[in-house]
Amino acid sequence: MLVKAIAVKEDRVIYFFRYCSLLLTSLIYLLGDRDPPFMFKLSMIVALFIFAKGITDIYRRIEKSSWMFKSILCLEMVGMLLQLLFTGGIDSPFLWCVMNPSLIAASYISAAYGCLLLLGYLLLATSFFYYISGGDYESIGTFLMDNSYFYLMLLHMAFFIHVLTDVKNKLERANTRTNETLWHIKSLYQIVEAAAQSESGNLRKIFTEFALRLTDQKMAFFWDSNANEDDERLIVHGTTGSEIEASIGFAMESRLKEFQSQDSPSLVNLFFHGEYLIMPVKSTTRFWGVLGIKMEAYSQEEGKHWFVQQLYFLSELCAIVLERHQLERIENQLIIIEEQNRIAAEMHDSVSQHMFGIVYATHSLIRQWPNIPEKQLKEQLQLILESSNIASQELRSSIYSLSSRKNGSSFWVSTVTSHLDSLSKLHTVEIRMKVTGDEHRLPVNHQKALFRIISEAAGNAIRHGYSSSIEVELILATGEAKLVVNDNGDGFDVFGRLSDPKLNGLGVSNMKFLVQSLGGTIEISSNQGMGTQILVIMPIDYYEKRN
């Protein structure tokens, strides 16, 4: 959109210069003391304005780099030469109008082409007017000297076009660098957001897809050196095949020690499968794997420095994110261990003491049973019963305090509802959520995944779809969780958006990763102006079946 807006502004400036220069030269021509009558001059000016309007409309409608565009530029130069016949020859004020097609050629094609048009115009004008002069000049040298101002003017035009083109090229390069910087900032935000909302198993897929998008190559991969036998060690995105994947896997395994020791990218030639740029993914404490892209032939000719920068940036970020997830996992394990120790201490200080008293009293009764009076026996049994009731109550209290299912609380649903309420108030959007079934049937992984999917779907509906109403429905049946998110937003072309990496954000990819990691399916339905529906179906017992 930014490039298109700049191109439109450039068109307006050039065409504005065309009409201003034509208006100025027309006034000089009209008010001059030359031979043609006033009405003839006026008719010529009107004809020139009509010609300028027609040729401008043609320029706007055709492709700027096509052969037709270049041909029309040449025809306009010929027209500029012919109009000199009726407006005073080389002395005509309309000579300045020749700068219009030259400037257009320099702006849309190249400065060399614009100067070439000027040179052709100069040669044709010189030959033509020297021929029709009818021997008024002793030689061509005399003709050139008498009309030196004409050639000086064309020289100034060429210099002016060169300066303008140079400024334009510098601005375009600056604009390209700005766009690349903005793209990298946007990419950094997207990848950090996606990584923050993903399971650690999905992070490698996210960085692989991002390497493909950021480098604009046809294939990227991540080889995980820490993957278990059951996990996917090689993750590939883009154009691939079983032979290519096998070749990459073998190359990574055979050169593992080399990759572990190096800190810079390297090129690996897989013979029939092409050349790959490889970057180790390392943190201060661990070697995570290798991130790589396949180098196309045109990329190698252009140089690899830019791709090296992108892979270096991605590998550093990938290592940081993976290490952070590893530390979070360790922290969660420590929290669980701490909670287990707390529960054990609580059980030891309360329930265990009562159980020990019951066991000791029962043992004493068994040993002294024949010698204990009936009244004392009943008292001992009553004490044992009371201790059993106290122990049972304390045990039940501990269980109810730990189990949301037992104490009737609905933490997950309340968390999701609170998040959606915050979105609703922040963006003035109506969001309704309906949950059918027992949420306590959802495993923790499913709860985290569904929360992130609901959050991403609602956020996309607000940010991109400009929705005013969103409905979220979660149906928890036996062995299955079904999520449906509907909005009344603008909608979009699903195939066109999801098939284009530049239009398809990481949010949708992250939702797919989350769903697929739990053995589920996701379906996105949308039409322009008809809103969007996201349907997710997950098996609740996926991990049990897989194990």
- Give the residue-averaged pLDDT of 45-53: 84
101: Cα separation from own chain's centroid: 39
HSE (CB half, 13 Å, CA atoms) of 83? Answer: 27
- For residue 544, pLDDT beyond 70: no
Q: State which of 299, 326, 353 marks the end of a domain.
A: 326
Task: Please check whether residue 417 lies inside any domain of the structure.
Answer: yes
Categorize the per-residue pLDDT at 535 as very low, low, confident or very high, splitting at 50, 70 and 90: very high
pLDDT at 6: 46
Retrieve residue 396's tokens.
Answer: 């039940």
Taking CA atoms, 69 is separated from 2, 56, 108, in Å, by 24, 11, 10
- 298 and 431 in a single domain? The answer is no
pLDDT in tens, 207-261: 888 888 778 788 899 988 887 665 678 888 887 778 888 888 888 888 888 888 8
- 10 and 154 in a single domain? The answer is yes
Task: Please check whether residue 191 lies inside any domain of the structure.
Answer: no
Categorize the per-residue pLDDT at 372 as very low, low, confident or very high, splitting at 50, 70 and 90: confident
Eight-class DSSP state of 497: H
HSE (CB half, 13 Å, CA atoms) of 297? Answer: 1
pLDDT at 534: 94
Task: Please check whether residue 510 lies inside any domain of the structure.
Answer: yes
Whether residue 541 contacts residue 479, with contact meaning beta carbons closer than 8 Å, is answered with yes
- For residue 1, pLDDT beyond 80: no
Amino acid symbol at 125: A
- 453 and 388 in a single domain? The answer is no
Whether residue 251 contacts residue 266, with contact meaning beta carbons closer than 8 Å, is answered with no
Whether residue 94 contacts residue 25, with contact meaning beta carbons closer than 8 Å, is answered with yes
Task: Please check whether residue 396 lies inside any domain of the structure.
Answer: yes
- 356 and 303 in a single domain? The answer is no
**Over pLDDT 70: what percentage of the chain?**
85
- The answer for residues whose C-beta is within 8 angstroms of residue 300's C-beta and 6 or more apart is 275
Retrieve residue 4's tokens.
Answer: 């298109």
Task: Please check whether residue 347 lies inside any domain of the structure.
Answer: yes
- For residue 515, pLDDT beyond 70: yes
pLDDT in tens, 129-173: 777 776 677 777 787 777 777 778 778 777 887 787 788 778 777
pTM: 0.53
Q: Is 98 exposed, middle or buried (0-12, 13-18, 19+ CB in 10 A)?
A: buried
Alpha helices in 197-241 (DSSP H): 200-215
The better pLDDT of the pair 303, 13 is held by 13
Eight-class DSSP state of 205: H
**DSSP-derived pairing of the beta strands 532-539 and 480-487:** antiparallel
Q: Provide the CATH number for the domain around residue 481.
A: 3.30.565.10
Amino acid symbol at 161: I
pLDDT at 487: 94
Least confident span in 103-107, 186-190, 346-350, 540-544 = 540-544
- Give the residue-averaged pLDDT of 195-210: 74
Vertex 443, ends 441 and 444: CA angle to 5°? 135
- Give the residue-averaged pLDDT of 411-417: 85
pLDDT at 157: 77
- 255 and 281 in a single domain? The answer is yes
State the Cα torsion 266-269-273-277 to the nearest 10°. 10
Domain that holds residue 11: 2-177
- Give the residue-averaged pLDDT of 309-314: 84
- 204 and 225 in a single domain? The answer is yes
Least confident span in 115-119, 131-135, 201-205, 335-339 = 131-135
pLDDT in tens, 71-121: 888 888 888 778 777 777 777 777 777 777 888 888 788 878 888 888 888
Taking CA atoms, 185 is separated from 182, 188, 319, 506, in Å, by 5, 5, 19, 14
Retrieve residue 252's tokens.
Answer: 């990574």
- For residue 196, pLDDT beyond 70: no
d(CA 166, CA 179): 20
- Give the residue-averaged pLDDT of 402-419: 70
Q: State which of 177, 206, 240 marks the end of a domain.
A: 177
Average pLDDT, the chain: 79
Averaging pLDDT over each range in 26-40, 89-103, 158-172, 513-527, which range is the top one? Answer: 513-527
Alpha helices in 32-133 (DSSP H): 38-61, 67-87, 99-108, 111-132
- For residue 205, pLDDT beyond 50: yes
- For residue 386, pLDDT beyond 70: yes
- 427 and 535 in a single domain? The answer is yes
- 388 and 489 in a single domain? The answer is no
Task: Please check whether residue 303 lies inside any domain of the structure.
Answer: yes
pLDDT at 427: 86
Task: Please check whether residue 192 lies inside any domain of the structure.
Answer: no
Domain count, the chain: 4
Whether residue 473 contacts residue 484, with contact meaning beta carbons closer than 8 Å, is answered with yes
Residue recorded with tokens 């004008």:
125
- 245 and 202 in a single domain? The answer is yes
Retrieve residue 371's tokens.
Answer: 């010698």
- 157 and 286 in a single domain? The answer is no
pLDDT at 302: 52
Phi and psi at residue 484, in whole multiples of 5°?
-130, 125
- The answer for residues whose C-beta is within 8 angstroms of residue 359's C-beta and 6 or more apart is none
Q: State which of 118, 142, 177 marks the end of a domain.
A: 177
pLDDT in tens, 52-66: 888 888 877 877 777
Task: Please check whether residue 182 lies inside any domain of the structure.
Answer: no
- 272 and 160 in a single domain? The answer is no
**DSSP-derived pairing of the beta strands 266-269 and 430-436:** unpaired
Q: Provide the CATH number for the domain around residue 231.
A: 3.30.450.40
Taking CA atoms, 357 is separated from 351, 363, 380, 387, 475, in Å, by 10, 10, 12, 8, 48
pLDDT in tens, 251-292: 888 888 888 888 888 888 887 778 888 899 988 778 899 999
pLDDT at 482: 93
- 268 and 364 in a single domain? The answer is no
Least confident span in 18-27, 224-233, 463-472 = 224-233
Categorize the per-residue pLDDT at 469 as very low, low, confident or very high, splitting at 50, 70 and 90: very high
- For residue 296, pLDDT beyond 60: yes
- For residue 403, pLDDT beyond 70: no
Whether residue 196 contacts residue 514, with contact meaning beta carbons closer than 8 Å, is answered with no
The better pLDDT of the pair 400, 425 is held by 425
